Amino acid sequence: MAKLQLDDIVDLREYEREREAFRRSIIELKSFRRIALGDLATVVFENSDTIRFQIQEMARAEKMLRDEQIEAELAIYNPMIPEKGELKATLFLELVTKEMLQQWLTALVGIENSVYLDLGEGNGARRIMARPEQGHGAQLTREDVTASVHYVEWALDEQAQELFRSSSIFIGVDHPNYQVHAELPQNTVESLLSDWSL
């Protein structure tokens, strides 16, 4: 999937004209790229459309008018666009009260290293652990407290890609303080596979 270029990010007036339709399309896209992991976590699989929306919304909120500002955002967010054989996602900890934040941000330290994909079944099954996205990992990781947002990625070799195309896929968290397991729906898998063909 191609990385975004400066010309892909439209200026503020043009974006205001397209924003409602684009926003609706992103909400629909994310509806099957967003996977709940129990009560405390959600994963949203990213692609060039979701990242373009993120940058456009940032530019709108911050009233960015200069190319240098947009280029800085592209440098930050382009690494979150997957290439063939990659999956990239934002991991959200759904901590909605002060009490939950106090309890879980310390209890879930290291969660970004605990997210996995299970591909296939039986002897040919593979478990692939996520890794923190390099550009963001150092900023979000602390020894005694975690962040409520993490950026994670998986690299799938040819065998794993074939399993992803042809078998059931599960995503889960295997953390000392939080374990959960969920199957990826077929429309999610199809959407993720379509990223690899662009």
* Residue type, position 59, single letter: A
Pinpoint the residues of the chain covered by CATH 2.60.40.
37-46+82-198
Q: What is the pLDDT along the chain (198 residues), one digit of tens a residue?
A: 889 999 999 999 999 999 999 999 999 999 999 999 999 999 999 999 999 999 999 999 999 999 999 999 999 999 999 999 999 999 999 999 999 999 999 999 999 999 999 999 888 899 999 999 876 656 666 778 999 999 999 999 999 999 999 999 999 999 999 999 999 999 999 999 999 986
Distance CA 73, CA 67 (A): 10
Sequence-distant (6+) residues with CB within 8 A of 45 are 33, 35, 87, 88, 89, 188, 191, 192
Record: fold of 37-46+82-198: Immunoglobulin-like (2.60.40)
Model confidence, pTM: 0.93
Question: What is the four-CA torsion angle of 71, 74, 79, 85, rounded to 10 degrees?
Answer: -120
Distance CA 174, CA 181 (A): 9
Each residue's pLDDT tens digit, 74-104: 999 999 999 999 999 999 999 999 999 999 9
CA 20, 24, 25, 27 torsion: positive or negative? positive
* Residue type, position 190, single letter: E
